Each structure stands twice: as C-alpha cells, then as structure tokens.
Copies of this chain bind each other. A is one copy, B any other.
Amino acid sequence: MVTRKDVAARAGVSPSTVSYVISGNRPISTETRDRVQRVMRELKYTPNAIAQSLAGSRKGIVALHFPVDHRGLNTTEFEYLTAVTQRARECGYHALLWSDPVADIDSLQTMVASQMVDGLILLEVFTDDPRIPMLTASGAPFSLIGRPADPDGLTWVDDDFDSLAAQATDHVADLGHRHLLYLAPPFDDLERGHGAAVRTQFALESAAAQRGLSLTQFHAARTTRGGLDAFAHVVSRSPRPTAVLAFNELAVSGLLRAASAASVSIPRDLTVVALSHADVAAEMMTPPLTTVSPSATELAVRAMDALADLITGRARPAPQAFVQPRLTIRESSGPAPD
C-alpha cells in the first residue's frame, strides 16, 4: 500500500506537509501543493480511512438503526432506509445498517462504545424507547425519525399526524362518507408504544370526532391474512363502513384481494385510503391507492442534516421538525355509495 510517507519521499517534502495538502488546514505554497498533488495522483495514493479516524476525530460513518423483532421492513420503511443512505452519502458519511430487537440494546451500546460511528439515526421510534436513554447517556450524537412520548431536548423529525388525520378524514368526508373503519396495525404495536401507530390512532379518533364521523377500528395482523380478516369485519358491521383508512401495508393488500373475491368494487362500493404508505407500493395495487403520506426523502434529509449539524457541533438547540404529509388521490377513493 502507498502511504503518506511514500508520497512525501517522492515529492521531497515531509509527511506532515502531505497531510496539510490534503486537509487544507494550513497555508501551503502553490508550488509545493501542486507537486504533492501530482505525486499523489501518480502513486494513486488514497489516505487510510482507519488511520484518519484514529488520529482525527471524524470517522465518516453513521449508523442507521431500526428495530426488527415483530416483522420485516415494509416498502415504506425501506424507502426511508435508502433515502437516509443516500443523504448520508451526500453529507460525506457512509451508512452502516444495524438492526436488532428494540429491547435488545446491548449490541447497539457496544457499537456506540466502540466509537466506530460519528452518530446514529434511529428509525421506528417507540413512545418509550430504550435506545434513547442509552444513547443520551453515551453522549453519542443521534437523531430520530419519529419521536418518543417525551421528545424534549432530542433531535427528531416526525410526521405531522394531526395534519395526516385531517387530510385523510377531510378527503373521505368530502366524498360523503360518514362511517369509517380504521384498519390499524396489530394491537401489539400500540401496546408496545410504536410511536407512529399510537399517534396515528389518536389523531384519527380526534379528527373523526371533530367532523362528526363514526370511526371504528380493526387491528389486523401485519400480513395479507390480516387484511382478509379486516374485510370480513367491514362487511359484518352495521352500519357498514364505506371508507377504510389503513395504516398497515400488508393488510391493505389482503383487503383488496378479499374485496375482489367478494365482488365489492373499490372505490364504487368501498373507499380505501392508505396512510404513510410508499408511493411505489400504492401504485402496485389494483386499484392504485389514494394515500396520505409524508415524503420519505424529506424525513431522511431533515434527519440526516440535523445529525450532521449535531456531529459537527453546529446546531444548538436541537433541531426538531414536523413534516407535512401530502394527499395523493389515486383510484381507490370515490363518492360514498347512495
């Protein structure tokens, strides 16, 4: 391997001068700089990242941590991952993927203590998330996509759930629907305090109440089967809901299939609006789903930029931001039947 010493010898300067040419941390004569740069190119010299990390303070790596006990990631979560990875790179960081059961914070703690990363982004934040006190105690910079019950002093970006609920209920109310079903994530998620699940539910209840709409809920398994069950529930209720608001990507697909099998036409007989659902997943469905979703890219950019500010020590106080979801009307929503 070519080292800084090799470059220095060939360029006739001291090793430290090579370092300063690279970092630009002190004035170098044009002549010296040009010569060193030429030699670096000739020798195809690339600084050793590990040595830079140890001597300097910057590691150039951020970890993305998502919990995975209950299920795999869905398309929406995957979008977040890729968006954060891309933004990390634009900010000059490599992205390390990391996932454990939420409750199992030991390996995360070890990784942080081993000082391998400059900072972390946590996804799928729970209202009482054990990762947060641990990271706070460690002193490592981190930012959240989502937020716990008490987000004071933390750096986070999150959906504006009130706006999300308002847009979804307004959309179906405007179409004349009065009886709504909330196709919710498994009850388990609520009990464990999954932030988005809890906040979406509360926001919907309050938005429906304000508009005088009836809203019942069905907690479906995060599987296609869960959606079949949800459909059975829809047709058994009286009065029968005419619109389903869904926050459960896999169950929605089951609901669509069950509706198709029962010759219940969407949207003629039943309106479906998917919440926080990736565009690409919505467009793969038959019919394509009307969604109310935040932009994964916007969440990722804000979370990563906030983390970068935290790492470099810009940014007190901690940046906190709500991202506004957007309604995209596709073909799964229509006027309430008669």
Contact = CB atoms under 8 A, between A and B. Distances in A.
Contacts of A51: 54
B286 A50 contact: no
A98 B47 CA distance: 19
A250 B114 contact: no
A29 B205 CA distance: 65
Contact of A115 (B1, B256, B280): B1
Contact of A59 (B50, B110, B284): B50
With most chain B CB atoms within 10 A of its CB, the pick from A1, A46, A59, A286 is A286
B46 A50 contact: no
Contact of A285 (B48, B98, B253): B253
A103 interface: no
B287 A257 contact: yes
B116 A46 contact: no
Contact of A94 (B49, B96, B284): B96
Interface stretch (A72-80, A171-179, A208-216, A236-244): A72-80
B288 A224 contact: yes
A108 to B, nearest CB: 12
Nearest to A81: B97
Nearest to A258: B286
A61 interface: yes
A192 B174 CA distance: 49
Interface in A37-51: 44, 46-51
Contacts of A280: 72, 250
B95 A96 contact: yes
Contacts of A285: 253, 284
A276 interface: no
A320 interface: no
Nearest to A53: B50
A124 B11 CA distance: 41
A167 interface: no
A113 interface: yes
A253 B47 contact: no
A283 interface: yes
A114 B326 CA distance: 42
Interface string A249-288: 0100100110010000000000000000000100111111
A273 to B, nearest CB: 18
Contacts of A295: none
A99 interface: yes
Interface of A: 1, 44, 46-51, 53-54, 59, 61, 72-73, 75, 78, 82, 85, 94-99, 110-111, 113-116, 224, 250, 253, 256-257, 260, 280, 283-288
7 contacts: A50-B54, A61-B96, A75-B78, A85-B99, A94-B98, A224-B283, A253-B283
Given A46-B114, A73-B82, A257-B287, 8 more contacts: A48-B115, A50-B54, A50-B116, A72-B82, A78-B78, A257-B286, A257-B288, A260-B286
10 smallest CB-CB distances across A and B, nearest first, come from A46-B113, A253-B284, A49-B114, A49-B116, A257-B286, A50-B53, A50-B54, A85-B97, A95-B97, A78-B78
